[in-house]
Amino acid sequence: MKLIDSILTQAADIAAIRRDIHAHPELCFEEVRTADVVARQLQAWGIPMHRGMGTTGVVGIVHGRDGGKSGRAIGLRADMDALPMQEHNSFAHASQHAGKMHACGHDGHTAMLLAAAQHFAQHRNFDGTVYLIFQPAEEGGGGAREMIKDGLFERFPMEAVYGMHNWPGASVGTFAASAGPVMASSNEFHIVIRGKGAHAAMPHNGIDPVPVACQMVQAFQTIITRNKRPVDAGVISVTMIHTGEATNVVPDTCEIQGTVRTFSNEVLDMIEQRMREIAEHTSAAFGARCDFRFKRNYPPTINHAAETAFAREVMAGIVGAERVIDQEPTMGAEDFAYMLQAKPGCYAFISNGDGAHREMGHGEGPCMLHNPSYDFNDDLIPLGATFWVQLAEQWLARPLNSAST
């Protein structure tokens, strides 16, 4: 691997910052302390910043050796928020706040971008501007959307924007990036079937919502198997059914909730329409009524071809082409999708290893994302920071609109 020496020299200090952030996790739109840590470091390195974008977001502004006069600019994004879950690790930097944990590595994402920021500030080996986007509320809050609403791309005009996430499994030193959809849209449904309560011994006096729900759940799967093209990806997961209070009472209502994931809005539109039709018509067939709500959360994360090819080229220069693999699309969701709707760019992945990096005192279980025994691998900090630096410097060194060769 071709890592930048100055980043390697400072990696231990950045790792200490990462562990401090891990020990003090903050949930979406509550990242006040984390933003303070980021701002304090940027200020110490002489990097101007804008705070409060998207509630708690921070944008660092690093001008190159030309003072940014070229007008060229690129954006690099890291997320800062933690998850509402209890950590099982017992090492020294484990969460100090019950029910809050950095179980997705956003502490590490912040650290990698801080390491790159420190190098940028010390060397400025580029013409133009690098915008360092420290984003709040990726875990369900839509912080990317809120930063965009606050004028992120108007205040800080950039040609492209890049994001990166750690991914457990492959060995450290492996990157992944693919053009097209890499993460799915995230959507929720909430259905209330309204029947008529009765004594369970005399069900003919009521309208039982439970068999309606059973028919409905089964019918939803025919949307995937019979309405959707087999080559299109889509998942309907009913994850909650709530009804009844007593064994001898036919309930008045039954609630069904769950999630829908797709890689395209066209498939999503079809699924929502068919679910609504099935819910309403199935209820009517049993003499019941239903309230159908469908909430669209994050859109699919779709990488742009030229920007992805450019990222892969930079990765190959650091770790070798054989260690730059295709990213298999996942049905997980990511709010960087909003940024990719507004600007060309790529959402890439850096391997977090197999979990062997964890110190004694970690909990049981694999080192997977959203797992209570997860911990970010600090060995990624110099590698991820080197990628950010090389990506920005090479991007700004190329003629405008020539992201790929």
Domain match, 293 and 307 both: no
Ramachandran angles phi, psi of 76, nearest 5°:
-120, 130
Domain match, 283 and 204 both: yes
Domain match, 43 and 99 both: yes
Question: Would you say residue 373 lies in a domain?
Answer: yes
CATH number at residue 226: 3.30.70.360
Domain match, 265 and 198 both: yes
Domain match, 54 and 93 both: yes
pLDDT classification of 60: cutoffs 50, 70, 90:
very high
Domain match, 176 and 276 both: no
Domain match, 309 and 385 both: yes
CB 239 within 8 A of CB 258: yes
Which whole-number Å values give the CA distances from 362 to 84, 112, 351, 366, 367, in the listed order?
19, 23, 20, 10, 10
Domain match, 320 and 376 both: yes
Question: Would you say residue 83 lies in a domain?
Answer: yes
Work out the average pLDDT over 151-176.
96
pLDDT classification of 198: cutoffs 50, 70, 90:
very high
Q: Which two tokens stand for residue 211?
A: 């068999």
Alpha-carbon distance of 355 to 234, in angstroms, equals 31
pLDDT per position as a tens digit, 76-131: 999 999 999 999 999 999 999 999 999 999 999 999 999 999 999 999 999 999 99
Question: Could you list the residue range(s) of the whole structural domain that residue 67 is in?
Answer: 5-184+300-397
- What's the sign of the alpha-carbon dihedral 221, 299, 114, 81? negative
Share of the chain above pLDDT 70, in %: 98
Helix (H) or strand (E) holding 240: strand 234-243
Domain match, 203 and 80 both: no
SS3 322: helix
Residue 10 reports pLDDT greater than 50: yes
Number of folded domains that form the chain:
2
More confident call, 153 vs 400: 153
Residue 277 reports pLDDT greater than 90: yes
Last residue of a domain, one of 278, 298, 318: 298
Question: Would you say residue 206 lies in a domain?
Answer: yes
Domain match, 86 and 163 both: yes
The position carrying tokens 């011994």 is 201
**Residue 205 burial class via C-beta count within 10 angstroms: exposed 0-12, middle 13-18, buried 19 and up:** exposed
Domain match, 345 and 289 both: no
Work out the average pLDDT over 268-288.
98
SS3 31: coil
Q: Output the pLDDT for position 169.
A: 86
pLDDT classification of 313: cutoffs 50, 70, 90:
very high
Alpha-carbon distance of 391 to 395, in angstroms, equals 6
Alpha-helix residue ranges (DSSP H) falling in 286-328: 305-319
Q: Which two tokens stand for residue 50?
A: 């804008």
Domain match, 125 and 263 both: no
Question: Would you say residue 404 lies in a domain?
Answer: no
Last residue of a domain, one of 282, 298, 314: 298
Question: Would you say residue 402 lies in a domain?
Answer: no
Work out the average pLDDT over 268-284.
98
Alpha-carbon distance of 163 to 249, in angstroms, equals 53
Last residue of a domain, one of 248, 279, 298: 298
Neighbouring C-beta atoms of residue 4, cutoff 10 Å: 20
Q: Which two tokens stand for residue 156?
A: 């800080």
Residue 229 reports pLDDT greater than 70: yes
Helix (H) or strand (E) holding 141: none
Range with lowest mean pLDDT among 45-59, 231-245, 355-369, 378-392: 355-369
Ramachandran angles phi, psi of 404, nearest 5°:
-120, 155
